[in-house]
Chains A and B, each alone.
Chain A
Amino acid sequence: EPEVTQTPSHQVTQMGQEVILRCVPISNHLYFYWYRQILGQKVEFLVSFYNNEISEKSEIFDDQFSVERPDGSNFTLKIRSTKLEDSAMYFCASSEDRASYNEQFFGPGTRLTVL
């Protein structure tokens, strides 16, 4: 069964460093998302991406964040200068269509630890 994959599973970085989290969505999906979950808190939406551009982003997704689909398979989240409060699980998701019509498929997550 097709699945969303994410690498790395765990990333440790120093405050102020740049990190890139990688995701490979399901191949025929058109909508891509990033969510994050700070330990013990709710899963929060960061950004959605469709047709090679951001279609929606949350207040969390400030200028330190960017997303890219550099080729036909990868979908990346870059954090330019990490802060301690960026420590969280980051989940990538993809769907065939809008949430109004289809479920989203989530990857296993990348645990980001900022020291």
Chain B
Amino acid sequence: SQQGEEDPQALSIQEGENATMNCSYKTSINNLQWYRQNSGRGLVHLILIRSNEREKHSGRLRVTLDTSKKSSSLLITASRAADTASYFCVPIQGAQKLVFGQGTRLTINP
């Protein structure tokens, strides 16, 4: 299994702005999943995008996937204080387990 590399490591923006986080990975995938973790608490699944999809939306979230570049991005629009968390991308090839990287620490300032 491979882990995603999130970029940037930390991002701080004002409430109401959009937040974009990027992810790169190394080998081919079946799908790519994004998770959120609020400070030391459990992980929450945000969105799953399959390898044959290029873009997916869920509420204020927009995920893109470029398999030719082995990259994905997560856009959070109209950010809120509650979006403050760490965000992880998890590329899935065929395994059952999830492998987490360091994530992007997003801080939304009021």
Contact = CB atoms under 8 A, between A and B. Distances in A.
Interface of A: 31, 33, 35, 37, 39, 42-45, 48, 50, 55-56, 58, 89, 91, 93, 98-109
B98 interface: yes
B41 A33 contact: no
Contacts, number: 68
Interface residues of B, number: 24
Given A42-B102, A100-B30, A100-B31, A109 B96 contact: no
Interface string B82-110: 00000010101111111111100000000
Given A42-B100, A98-B94, A109-B41, 10 more contacts: A43-B37, A45-B97, A55-B96, A91-B42, A91-B43, A99-B33, A99-B97, A99-B98, A101-B30, A106-B45
A9 to B, nearest CB: 11
A108 B33 contact: no
Interface in B42-92: 42-45, 48, 88, 90, 92
